[in-house]
Amino acid sequence: MSTRKTPSPKHEANRPKRKTPDCHCNIQEIMSDFQRKMTISFNESLATQSEQLNSSLNMLRDDVNSFTGQINELNATMHKIIEDQSTLKKEITDLRSSDDKTNKKVDNIECDINSLASQVSELTDQLRLKEQQGRINNLEITGIPIVKGENLYTIVGNIASKIGISLEPTDIDFIHRVRRFNNAQTSEIKPARDASLAPNIIVRFTQRKRKTDMLTAARARRGLTTADAGLDGPASPIFISDHLTPQNKLLYKQVRKIAKEKLYKYIWLSDCKIFVRKSDTSHAILVSRESDLIKIK
């Protein structure tokens, strides 16, 4: 077993001393290395962040450019809308002006139409009046059947004798049958032995007084028949009245219908004019045209 020898103090004194590490130098190196690494890391981080920031800025710049483009497009659209609105306002103004002119023209045309309608109505009334005045000397006899070889002068003479009127040949201008008017629009001749279908007889007198005398006598006689006219066969009623125009015949028919509905007591013709009277004490009403029907209340 070996025994370790303990160096003697002498030998210890002669041994060379070990070098003590320079701690201060190591710390500086460590710090320097750390700073270098931190600088590199910071630079790298800064470069990365700068790159990211640049990328973000580029994206933001693109977005701004895109937004600016959209704003420009919107401004262009708004400008176009404003132009269109201005054009539309002008067109509306023009249309209103044109509409005002058109309305004025329409109003003028309506006035002209109303004026023309009034003139036409007035002329129509004048024509109807003249047409009726042309028949003022005429009598119309209904209910006389057609007989072969008939002599209308003899028939009228027989009727005149029956009602107490003496007719001279010079009293009568002409006598003829006229087609029956079924309404104001159509007419047709229906010769037949049936008195209700036979054309009426028109007697034109040379003097209005002679026509009035015979009409007055016929109304006073009442109940005239074909026998009074000298006709053979069963006696049937005949009627003598003023010779009305087709329009006035229709008007007379309307007057009779309305007056009966309104309980008017009198409906009559006088010199081819239509009159009604509601009672003995009321005033007579002249009906000259269809618009006068409202007078019958």
User: Would you place residue 16 in the very low, low, confident or very high pLDDT band (cuts 50, 70, 90)?
Assistant: low
* pLDDT (tens digit per residue) in 247-281: 999 999 999 999 999 999 999 999 999 999 999 99
* Sole residue written with tokens 């004048």: 126
Q: How far apart are CA 253 and CA 249, in angstroms?
A: 6
Residues 233-251, mean pLDDT to the nearest whole number = 94
Beta bridge partners of 277: 266
CA pair distance 33, 107, nearest whole angstrom = 106
233 compared with 255, residue with greater pLDDT: 255
**In angstroms, rounded to a whole number, what is the distance separating the alpha carbons of residues 206 and 88?**
78
Q: What is the pLDDT of residue 88?
A: 87
The answer to whether 225 and 195 are in contact (CB under 8 A) is: no
- The per-residue pLDDT for range 57-102, each reduced to its tens digit, is 888 888 888 888 888 888 888 888 998 888 988 889 888 888 888 8
Query: Taking 60 as the threshold, does the pLDDT of residue 184 lie above it?
Result: no
Task: Look at the chain and count its residues.
Answer: 297
In this predicted structure, what is the pLDDT of residue 45? 79
Nearest to 276 by CA among 259, 257, 263: 259
Taking the CA of residue 34 as centre, how many other CA atoms within 13 Å lie in the half-sphere pointing to its CB? Answer: 6
* 198 burial type by CB count under 10 A (0-12 exposed, 13-18 middle, 19+ buried): buried
CA nearest 157: which of 168, 146, 170, 173? Answer: 168
Residue 282's CB is within 10 A of a number of other CB atoms, namely 12
Q: Among 45-49, 197-201, 238-242, which is the least confidently predicted range?
A: 45-49
Say which CATH topology domain 134-243 has: Alpha-Beta Plaits (3.30.70)
pLDDT score recorded for residue 6: 54
| Tokens 């007419």, residue located | 187
* Amino acid present at 159: I
Distance separating alpha carbons of residues 164 and 169, to the nearest angstrom: 16
Q: Which of 248, 256, 260 lies closest to 290 in space, CA to CA?
A: 248
Separation of alpha carbons 48 and 148, rounded Å: 136
For residue 59, CA distances in Å to 51, 52, 66, 74, 292 come to 12, 10, 10, 22, 92
What local confidence, expressed as pLDDT, does residue 185 receive? 44
The domains of the chain are located at 91-133, 134-243, 245-297
Whole-number percent of the chain with pLDDT over 70: 86
222 has pLDDT over 80 = yes
Give residue 17's pLDDT band: very low, low, confident or very high (50, 70, 90): low
Q: How many CB atoms lie within 10 A of CB 22?
A: 10
| Amino acid 23: pLDDT | 60
Distance of CA 93 to the CA centre of its chain: 26
For residue range 116-137, what is the model confidence (pLDDT) as tens digits? Answer: 988 998 888 899 899 999 999 9
Of the chain, the percentage scoring pLDDT greater than 90 comes to 52
145: how many CB neighbours lie within 10 A of its CB?
Answer: 19
Q: Tell me how crowded residue 206 is: count the other CB atoms within 10 A of its CB.
A: 14
The three-class DSSP label of residue 145 is coil
Q: What is the pLDDT of residue 225?
A: 95
Q: Is the pLDDT of residue 114 over 80?
A: yes
pLDDT of residue 121: 83
Residue 175 neighbours by CB distance under 10 Å? 17
Apex CA 87: angle with CA 86 and CA 89, to 5°?
65
